[in-house]
Structure 1
Amino acid sequence: MASPSSRYDLTGRTALVTGAGGLLGRQHVAALSEAGARVVVTEINLAQAEAAIAALKEAAPAADLIALALDVTAQDSVRAASEQLAGRGVTVDILVNNAAIDPKVTSSPGVMHSSRFEAFPVPQWQTEIAVGLTGAMLCAQEFGGQMARRGRGVILNIASDLGVIAPDQRLYRQPHVAREEEQPVKPVTYSVIKHGLIGLTKYLATYWADHGVRVNAISPGGVFNNQDPAFVERLTRLIPMGRMAEVDEYRAAVQFLCSDASSYMTGQNLVMDGGRSVW
């Protein structure tokens, strides 16, 4: 029987992380690399992927990282990335669907706020769905399909606590905005995408269960990143642990879900939100 620590070991495996240049994307890369994996760092253009690698290597110079341009919304781009890796003899064992557009909630007094549902632009809906949900489907289709044919693999979808609960729009209210229809809100797309990712997780977990492919999701809570103090105070009141997450606090969970430590777990959504969704 393998020791507990060895079950987290990803040496000899290759992971691919989409949207790897963002705040949490870099943390996912660092977590997988720390566990011994070679990691393909993807962004919509190569310069962004290379910049992410440069930043990551400052803390971990020996990390085995590959930069790759990947537009998750375009099937041709996903296939081209897959072919490019195959040409280099790289096989993807772990896929982390992280790419997303996380719209920042801001207020522009005097006009009906475009984040509000009544005024939400259809092109914005289509763009955000394409990146956050269709992109995950296309990457799973390509790389997950390869895993299924090989009989082994792991897919991790990065959802959110807002894929489990609805946004509390009171968090985003601005006292200087008099008209209700101009108050900023968390856009509808974010919740729909994150709920959809959890649904995709369950679908693929059962679809490929007999092909050795495990599919799980993680739903992180809010990460502290020097947000407005008033917002942080309002949010922490909703969290039983009384604080937001630190940026590196999800690393061990990613290692668990992507390694043999979770070998009997599939189709599940691991909620790490400081207890917010319990209240």
Structure 2
Amino acid sequence: MNVKKLFNMKNRVVIITGAAGLLGSQYADGLSQSGANVVLADVKYSECKKIEKELISKYGVSPLSIKLDLTNPKSIKSMVSKTLKKYSKIDVLINNAADQGNPKLRTTKFEDFPLSYWNKALSVNLTGVFLCCQEVGKVMVKQKRGVVINISSTYGLVAPDQRIYGKSGQNSAAFYSVTKSALLNLTRYLASYWQGKGIRVNTLSPGGVEKNQNSNFVKKYSEKTMLGRMAKKDEYVGAILFLSSDASSYMTGSNLVVDGGWTAW
């Protein structure tokens, strides 16, 4: 067994939705280091272009930036066709993009939460993933190979501990837990549906990342984890590389939890 080869992503084509975000950009960097050609798909196209230039300069890879609107089926179809036009294949799909909520609504009571935003969030966090899996799945079935990674969350597994939030402005709205938990069973369904077709489907459930939040919130959150801290933004790259590569070749229908021990108490 060649361990280095197990994690080698050279010339693999990886679509990352939400690639301009805090974690999406980290996934793109880590996979590019391992030789992958990443498709940077995000509504923030200009940010993707900046990341694209950095990846070319640092690693000599051939990334592609695409403006993606997950609420628009035509935009998703276009993403797939543009990817195939450049690379002629899709090896990995990482459904990373998510609406985490308008900051102005984070302290809104559940009873007062607007239906319009609930529907908007579901269209991105759940329906958008469904549509990406449909369109990319068609390609992977024809190829007879592929990997799909759905990004869930600690809050897809357990309810948010409302006691740590208070009026911090970091509150997690109900739609986030609902959509992230739904991805766990979408993963299982697709792993079962595509069994025997060379397609593996798994979930990554990360915990919270420290990013200049309220210090009191960070302290309370950290006390909920066994490691006593929030994650650093680059600490999920290893998990993504594992799930994307041949290192996880015997893994499908599973959920990889990386949350500092939050859910293991």
Q: Find the residue that maps to 1:210 and give its secondary structure.
A: coil
> How far does the alpha carbon of each residue in 1:62-92 deviate from its partner, in whole angstroms, 9 at most, with x for none?
2431111111221111112222223334321
* Structure 1 residue 226 displacement after superposition: 1.6
Structure 1: runs of 5+ lacking an equivalent = 176-182
Of 65, 74, 81 in structure 1, the residue corresponding to residue 72 of structure 2 is 74
* Letter in structure 2 aligned against 1:195: S
Find out whether 1:160 has 2:149 as its counterpart. Answer: no
Q: Find the residue that maps to 1:214 and give its secondary structure.
A: strand
Q: How has the CA–CA distance of structure 1 residues 57 and 173 changed in structure 2, closer, same or farther, with 3 Å as cutoff? A: farther
Q: How has the CA–CA distance of structure 1 residues 174 and 82 changed in structure 2, closer, same or farther, with 3 Å as cutoff? A: closer
Find out whether 1:250 has 2:243 as its counterpart. Answer: no
Preserved contact between residue 155 and residue 177 of structure 2 (Cα < 8 Å): yes
Bigger radius of gyration among the two: 1
> How far does the alpha carbon of each residue in 1:70-115 deviate from its partner, in whole angstroms, 9 at most, with x for none?
112211111122222233343211000001011266689xxxx53x
> How far does the alpha carbon of each residue in 1:172-215 deviate from its partner, in whole angstroms, 9 at most, with x for none?
1139xxxxxxx984210110011011111111011101111000
Match of 1:88 in 2: 86
Match of 2:127 in 1: 134
Match of 1:199 in 2: 185
Find out whether 1:223 has 2:209 as its counterpart. Answer: yes
Match of 1:4 in 2: 3
Match of 1:274 in 2: 260
Structure 2: runs of 5+ lacking an equivalent = none
Paired positions, count: 265
Q: Where has structure 1 moved over 6 Å in runs of 4 or more?
A: none
So what's the TM-score if we normalise by structure 1? 0.89
Q: CA RMSD in A?
A: 2.0
Preserved contact between residue 32 and residue 61 of structure 2 (Cα < 8 Å): yes
* Distance across 1 between alignment mates of 2:75 and 2:112: 32
* Distance across 2 between alignment mates of 1:79 and 1:190: 25
* Letter in structure 2 aligned against 1:65: P
Find out whether 1:209 has 2:207 as its counterpart. Answer: no
Q: Find the residue that maps to 1:36 and give its secondary structure.
A: coil
* Letter in structure 1 aligned against 2:236: Y
1:22-171 correspondence runs (5 A)? 22-54=21-53, 56=55, 60-103=58-101, 113-114=107-108, 116-171=109-164
Q: Point out the more displaced range, 80-89 or 135-144.
A: 80-89
